[in-house]
Structures are given as C-alpha cells and as structure tokens.
Structure 1
Amino acid sequence: MQHLHHFYIDGAWTPPHRLNAIEVVDPSTEQPIASLALGAEEDVERAVTAAASAFPRWSGTPLMERKAAVARLAEVYQRRGEEMGAAISREMGAPIDLATTAQVGSGSGHFQTFLDLIDGFEFEEWLEADSHCHRILKEPIGVVALITPWNWPMNQIALKVVPALLTGCTVVLKPSEIAPLSGHLFAEMVAEAGIPAGVFNLVHGDGAGVGSALTAHPRVDMVSFTGSNRAGVAISKTAADTIKRVSLELGGKGANILFDDADEKAVARGLASCFLNSGQGCNAPSRMLVQRGIYEETVAKAAEIARAVQVAPASLPGNHIGPVVSEAQYERIQGLIASGLEQGARLVAGGLGRPEGLETGYFVRPTVLADCTNEMTVAREEIFGPVQVIIPFDSEEEAIAIANDTVFGLTNYVQTADLHRARRVARALRSGMVEINGVGRSWRTPFGGYKQSGSGREGGLWGIEEFLEVKAVSGWDGAG
C-alpha cells in the first residue's frame, strides 16, 4: 500500500505537522490502496508562506524562463503519462484505456495550448492606439490556492496550474482527498522538472480542513475551485472576509435537445457523452429532450444502446465504463434512480443495484429513465452517474424553456439538421457552452457556465486572464 505522508512545500517533501491519515480506496475492489496524511492549518501556513516568499522572484522572472520551466514540466508529464494513467485508474475508477488516453491526454492538451498561447499574449498594451499616454498592464494576481476534483484530475490540475505558473503566480494545490494519487505524482513531476522552490506547493487534505484554511488565508490572493455547488458556496462565503478573487467551476445539468430531424447518430452520441467516465462529468448531457414525433423510437434506441454498454473493473482494457468513485457516490445515485421511479419515470434500461457479476465495487447499471418531467428530482439534481433522463417536448419554444429551467447553466447540446434553428436555439440557451450536432470544444474554448454552474472561465486566453490583475497607468509618455 502506498503511503502519501509527505507534502511538497518550498521545493522539498516534508512531513505533516501531525499525522492524521485516512485510507484511499480503489472503487473497483473496495480495497484500500493508499494511506493519505491530511494537512492541518499549520501545513497550510507553511505552504502559503513559501508561495508568498517565492512570488516576487517568480513574477519577476522573464516570461521565456517561466515558459521554459513549464515546458520542462510538460516533457516530464508526457514521459510519465503511463504512470499517471495507472494512478488515475486506481484512485477514481476510470478504465485504464480511458485513463491513459482521455484523462492523461486532457492534461497534455492544456499544457500545449497554454504554451502556444502565452507567446502571443499581450501583458502590456495601449489603451488607445493613437496615444501613448495610457498604458494597460496585466500582472499576476499573486498567491493562488487551487482546489481540484477527483473526476478529471489532470484536466483540472493542468487547467489551473499551467496558466498560473506561466503568468507569474505561485500556487498551493489541494487535490481531492478521495483521489490524491495523481496530484501527488504531479508534484513529483514538478520536482523533477526543477520548478523553483516555493513556486508550486502541494498540501493534501479535505475541504473542511485544508480547503477552508486556504480559502480564509489572508495571504492567498485568489482561490480557483472545481467541485460541488455546496463547497463552492462555502468557499465564496469564507473568501468574502478577505475580498479575494474566487473562480468557481461547479455543477451542471445539461440538456441535449433532439429535434425530429436529428441525424441517425444523435441518440448514440448523446448516450456516449452521458455515460462517459461513468457519467461523472459536470458537462454530461444528462437530460435528453426529444421532440414528440421521434420520441418513442428514440426511447427504444436509447434503451438498446444502454443495455449494450459494458461495465467492468477499471484495470481491464477495453471500451467499457468502470465504477463510480466511492460508496457515498454509489448510494447517492441509487437514491436518485429510486426517486425517479417513485415519481413516475418509466425504466427502460438498467435500474437499481449492481450489474450482474459485479457484486464488489461501486458499479452502477447504465440506466435510462423515460417519460420524465422537468420537475422530477432526477431532472433537477446533478446525478453524476451513468443515468440518462428522457423528457418529451413539442415545440422549439418548449424545448428552450425546459432546457433553461434549471439552476445550472454549464453545457447544453442541440441536434438538428437545420443550422438556422441550431444557431437560434444556441443563442437562447442560458449556458456557458453549447455544442451543435456533436462538434466538441476546442482546446482554446473557454470552459465555464452561467448561474449556479460557477463564475469565471478556464482554458484558452480566458484561462490565462483569470490569473491576472489589470493595472491602468496614465501619463506613461509624460504627456498631460
């Protein structure tokens, strides 16, 4: 069993102020695979002090030197990708093929995108093209606390760490205590890449302990958090006392609108997106809205597709889905499926309990619930499991109204052969992202949502600007 009993602070692996360890469990086997030390306020203090001390030196380092350091980290990350994939698969249950491709690959994609974009980024510019009186400076915000989730660990760590370091910020990372192996390995890569001491620090811990201490710390200038809405609310309240910037990427309840002229692959595409990563994605299209004329055939097709989805342990190769991350998550999903059935949903695939032959592990049956209404609990709450909810609609206006009738607003999806309608609907949907006919996002796409799906944007140029303050200087050329 792996022992993660040290934190990476000020360029060295150091023991915690006091040992308070928990078990990390493999969701495929329900067996402990690691012992994790949880940090305390004293550990957070050491890490923040190290980051604050390193900030003047790192922010003053020429951009090309910062870029070279991040490029070295990217090279180490790429070289140790197989090791990273294995860690992700064991800690949170992503099938090994998915873990070594999409999970690890998401980190690689963000590394390369930010390294490409930083060359052309304007850290200084004139307010007015025809005057040299007013200069706009974009400067690193300072010490940043990065709190990342378990479902796409390297996607979120790369989205936060890479632009923070490139812009000149120093960071303290707290990965999820449920799936900490990948974050710990990332810190090893930072050390191997020779990132200067204090620029990157890692403290393991839970939200109530390390997360709260980071959020409240007066020397932390910004908190970037990805996770649950409940935690996002708590972070916002705690951070308010010191008026620090807070960037939140929270939940979603995406609507996938299938009009009666949707292409023949639309249903399969929707189910694949909904069930990806065992349904554990904030941008999963978990509500499928289907126009009445194709409703019954869509329900039948969705049921057939769901029944064919294979479920197996994460360690096995192949195109299957693995377990959900924990017993608590498994029980929550079971409760939501039960509530759907109690409230009148029609079960057409899957249902309660584990798939046949998988009595051990947090495995969920790929489930389709038809004849749902948008008032049902399964249509209101983020399930975070392989559960597809299907709701009928008649008109374009009704589909938009149903899609927007949610506290969330992360990603919505539109399937239609009529591009004029697709664009019209995309404009009307209240979400930070809309995908039309299965065309996915670019690496440079800003990721983030409206309403209770969060604030701020990650990825691309927007992800760089998140970590910068804007300073306006007048009289730059001495003119009055």
Structure 2
Amino acid sequence: MLDKRQFYIDGQWVDPVEGKDFEVINPATEQPVAVISLGSSSDLDKAVAAAKVAFETWSETSVEDRAALIERVIKIYERRSAEMDDAIRLEMGAPAKFVREQQTPAGSGHFQATLEALKSHQWERPSPRGGSTLRDEPIGVCGLITPWNWPINQIAAKVAPALAAGCTMVLKPSEVAPLSAMLFAEILHEAGCPAGVFNLVNGDGLGVGAPMSSHQDIDMVSFTGSTRAGTSVSQNAAPTVKRVALELGGKSANLLFADADLETAVRTSVEGCFSNSGQSCDAPTRLLVERSVYDEAVTLAKRFAEETEVGNPEKDGDHIGPVVSQLQYDRIQGHIEAGLKDDNKLITGGPGKPEGLETGYYVRPTIFADVSNDMHVAREEIFGPVLAILPFDTEIDAIRIANDTPYGLAAYIQTGDPERANRVARKLRAGNVYINGAGIDYDVPFGGYKQSGNGREFGQFGLEDFLELKAITA
C-alpha cells in the first residue's frame, strides 16, 4: 500500500501538522491501495503563507517565463502519462482504455490550450476611447477544490490558467481520488515550478475545504463539485468578498428528433450517458425523443444498454468500470429505488450489481422509459449509469422540457436538420450545447447556467477567470 501522507508545501513534501490517516480504496477490489493524511486548517495556513510569499515574485514574471514552465510541464506530463493512467485507474476505477484515451489526455489538453491563450493574450491595451490603459493582472492566491470523477481534467483546468495568469495556489483534490493530484505535484516539481507557487494539501470539505473558502489570505476559490457543496463554498467565502468560480451539477437534456439517424443517435446517447460509469456532471442523462420514433428509440436504447459491458478496470476494452465508492454506489441504488416507485417503466438494469461482479462498486446500466419531467429520475443528478427517456411532441415542447430543470450545464441535440440544430441550440438554457455527437473542445468556454455554476473554464476563458482588470488613467 502506498504511503502518501505528506503534503506538497513551499516546494517540498512535508508531514502534516497533525496526522489523520485516510485510506484510498480501489473501487474494483474494495481494498485500500494507499493511505493519505487529511489535513487541517493549520496545514492550510502553512500552504497559504507560502503561496502569499511566492505571489510577490511569480506575479511579476514575464509571459515568456510562465510559458516556458507550462511547456516543461506538458513535456514531463506526457512522458509520465502511463503513471497517470495507473493512478486514475486505481483511485476511481476508470477502465484502462478510457483512462488512456480520455482521462489522462485531458491534462495535457488543458495545458496546451492554456499555453496558446497565454501567448496570444493582450495583457495591456488602450481604453476604447483612448486616454487610459487597461491592464490584466493576476488575482492573487487561489484556492482550488477539485472532484474525483475527472480528477486530472479538473486539476489541469484550474492549475494551468492560474499558473499562466501569474497566480499562486493551494490545491485540495478529492480525498477519494488524490493519487493523480500527488503525481501531478511531482510533475510540477520536476518542471521547476518555483517554491510556493503550487501547493497541495489533502483533506475533506470540513477540514480543508471550508477553511479554504473563508481564508482571509485567499483571493479566489475555484470549485468543481456538487451544487450543494458549491452553495456552502459561496456562503463561506461571502464575508471576505473573494471571487468564487463554480462548476457544479447537471441534469442535461439530449433532444432526439425524428429526422436524426436514429440508430446512431440512440447509440451515441446511451454511450454518452454511461461513459465514465455515468460519473460526469455534463452527462446526457435525460433523453428526450420525438414521439413518432419514440418506441423504436426505446427498443434501441434497451439493446445498446444490454450490450454495454461492465468489468474490471485493468482489462483493456470499451467496457465501463465501477463507480468510485461505497457511498456513491449506495446513493445510486437509492435513486434507482426511488425511480421504481414512480409511474414509469424500467426497461433494463435496476438495483444491485451485474452478475458475476459481487466485489467492487459495480452498477447495472439502467434505463427508465415513459418518464415525465416531474419524476425523481428526471429531476435528480444521479451520477451513475442511469438514463431516463421522455417523449415529446413538438420542437417547442422539447425545448420547454429541456429547460425545465434547476441545472444548465450542458445540452445535446440529435437532428438531421442543421437549421433546426442551430435554432434549438440558441433556445436551450445551457452553457454548452453539443450537436450530433460533437465532443469536447479545450478552446471553448465550459460552464453552466442556473444552479450549474458561474464563471467559465478552458483556454482563454479559463485564463480570464484568474485575472483582475485594472484601469490606469493619467
């Protein structure tokens, strides 16, 4: 079992002020693979103090110096990508191929997009009518709180722009999946990141997250996680009037029109929902189908779900793995049980584990059909491989159902009519709209409307989140 009980503070690995051991569990075996320490406000204070000192010099570095560091990080990250694959597979149970092709590459993808944004950004410019200078400056010391479901993706989406902006930072990764974060700290150290610029303190929300949100020497908190936890971050941060950037939950609608290539659209929809074992905030978990093709779509969805293989993350292939923890498994089972009580139809899956997978936090790929938008499985973010299928009659009806949610992170459209795709996309209250299976783009803004958060990440837009705008008038 790996001993990972130290924190990375001021350029070195240090012991916690007061050790509190916490086991990291492999979701596929239910056995511990590492032990970390859960930090406290005292550990956080040390890290913030180091970041505050480092900010005095790092904030004054040139674009060229910051770009050079990011280039070294990318090179080392790519060299150590196999280690990152192993870390993510162990800590969250993501299958080997999925980690290798999607989870790990997200890290270098964000750093590359940020590097391009850094080099092209106009740091000083004249005011619109002249007479003054507008100057972008780093916001200061940043607290970064990241989740377990896409661990290195969210770390890189915050650390890369913070470094590029000239900020210093303290990272609190999820205590459930901290191994990728600790490997990432090693990569930054090897790349020559100056002492105090990047610091890492493991811990839970109560011990480190809450003190970070309220810390008087932290100028910004960037948080990714549940809407409930994001609300707490905002409340804790309010007395210090620090900037808070939130990327939160979702219950994303996927609008499938009759003029789409039905088999391809349904397959893409099912795979998108079940990808990463359903543990994605922007997963298309509500499939809205035009009534004229509804029955056929349900039949296809059932077939594709039952063709979805669930298995050991160490095995190479296109299967899905377990969910991340016993707690997550139990929550998903509760949502499925609640779905069974509603007046809808369970067409495949259901409670319990897949046959032959009694050990590990495996969930049966599950689909509910004939769902109405007021039902539990249509309202709640389940965060597992559970799909709700709802019928609609008209384009207006589809848009109304899609927008009838407290969330607004993502939306999806499947149609053979480009004009309809663009028309509907403009009416959907979501930060990101994907048409006909389009994938992620690290250069475009990522973030949500309503209770899915505020601010935007990725590329130029992520960089701007970590900047203050100063006007100099002579």
Q: Report the TM-score range of the alignment, normalised by the length of the smaller protein.
A: over 0.9
How big is each residue's C-alpha offset from its partner over 1:193-232, in whole Å with a ceiling of 9 and x where there is no partner? 1110000000000011111111111000000000011110
Deviation at 1:61? 1.1
**1:251 maps to what in 2?**
249
Within 5 Å, give how 1:60-459 maps onto structure 2.
Answer: 60-128=60-128, 131=130, 133-264=131-262, 265-459=264-458
The 2-side partners of 1:343 and 1:10 are apart by 54
Distance in 2 between the 1:74 and 1:441 partners? Answer: 19
Cα distance in 1, alignment partners of residues 272 and 177 from structure 2: 23
The residue type equivalent to 2:5 in the other structure is: H
> Using the alignment, how far apart are the partners of 1:421 and 1:76 within structure 2?
45
Report the counterpart of residue 28 of structure 2 in structure 1: 28
**Is there any run of 5+ residues in structure 2 with no aligned partner, and where?**
none
Cα-to-partner distance string for 1:411-448 (whole Å, 9 max, x where unaligned): 00111112221111111111101111112232201000
Q: CA-to-partner distance for each residue in 1:161-190, whole Å, 9 max, x for gaps?
A: 011001100010000000011001111111
2:43 aligns to what? 43
For residue 59 of structure 2, what is the aligned residue in structure 1? Answer: 59
- Give 3-state SS (helix, strand or coil) of 2:137's partner: strand
1:322 Cα offset (Å): 0.1
What is the CA deviation profile of residues 106-154 of structure 1, one whole-angstrom value per residue up to 9, with x for unaligned ones? 11111111112211101111112x63x1110000000000000000011
CA distance in 2, matches of 1:388, 1:434: 19
C-alpha distance after superposition, 1:67-105 (max 9, x if no partner): 111211111111100000100001001001111221000
Q: Unaligned regions of 5+ residues in structure 1, if any?
A: 476-480
1:268-307 superposed Cα distances (whole Å, 9 cap, x missing partner): 0111111110000000000000010000000000000000
| Distance (Å, rounded) in 2 between the aligned partners of 1:273 and 1:60 | 43
Native 8 Å contact 1:86 1:100 kept in 2:
no
- Contact between 1:349 and 1:368, CA under 8 Å: does it hold in 2? yes
Following the alignment from structure 2 to structure 1, what is the Cα–Cα distance between the partners of residues 203 and 31? 20
Question: Contact 1:90–1:315 at 8 Å: present in 2 too?
Answer: no
Amino acid at match of 2:459: G
SS at match of 1:385: coil
SS in 2 for 1:325: coil
Q: Percent identity?
A: 55
Give yes or no for contact 1:124–1:137 (8 Å, CA) kept in 2: yes
Distance, in Å, in 1 between the alignment partners of 2:172 and 2:161 is 17
Q: Which residue of 2 aligns with 1:478?
A: none
Residue aligned with 1:363, SS:
coil
* Alpha-carbon distance in structure 2 between the residues aligned to 1:420 and 1:262: 13
Q: Which amino acid aligns with 1:370?
A: A
- TM-score under structure 1 normalisation? 0.98
Q: Which amino acid in 1 is paired with 2:7?
A: F
- Secondary structure of residue in 1 paired with 2:240: coil
Q: Secondary structure at the match of 1:472?
A: strand
Q: Is the 8 A contact 1:215 1:235 kept in 2?
A: yes
In structure 2, what is the Cα distance between the partners aligned to 1:439 and 1:91?
Answer: 29
User: Whole-Å Cα distance in 2 between the matches of residues 73 and 396 of structure 1?
Assistant: 47
Task: Report the secondary structure of 1:241's partner residue.
Answer: helix
Write out the 4+ residue segments of structure 1 that deviate beyond 3 Å after TM superposition.
none
Partner Cα distance (1:6, 1:439) in 2: 41
Q: Give the corresponding residue for 1:13.
A: 13
Q: RMSD of the TM alignment (CA)?
A: 0.8
Do the aligned residues in 2 keep the contact of 1:50 with 1:198 (CA within 8 Å)? yes
Distance in 2 (alpha carbons) for counterparts of 1:13 and 1:72: 21
Give the counterpart letter for 2:238 in structure 1.
A
Greater CA deviation, 198-207 or 116-125?
116-125
Provide the C-alpha distance between the structure 2 equivalents of 1:315 and 1:96, rounded to a whole number of angstroms.
6
Q: Is the 8 A contact 1:37 1:204 kept in 2?
A: yes
Shift of 1:341: 1.4
Question: Structure 1: how far apart are the matches of 2:190 and 2:359?
Answer: 38
Cα distance in 2 between the residues matched to 1:73 and 1:162:
10
**AA matched with 2:163:** L
> 1:292-328 deviations in whole A, cap 9, x for unaligned?
0000000000000000000001111111000000111
Amino acid at match of 1:393: F
Q: Deviations over 1:7-45 (max 9, x none)?
A: 000001100001101111110010111111011111000
Return the alpha-carbon distance in structure 2 between the equivalents of residues 107 and 295 of structure 1.
39
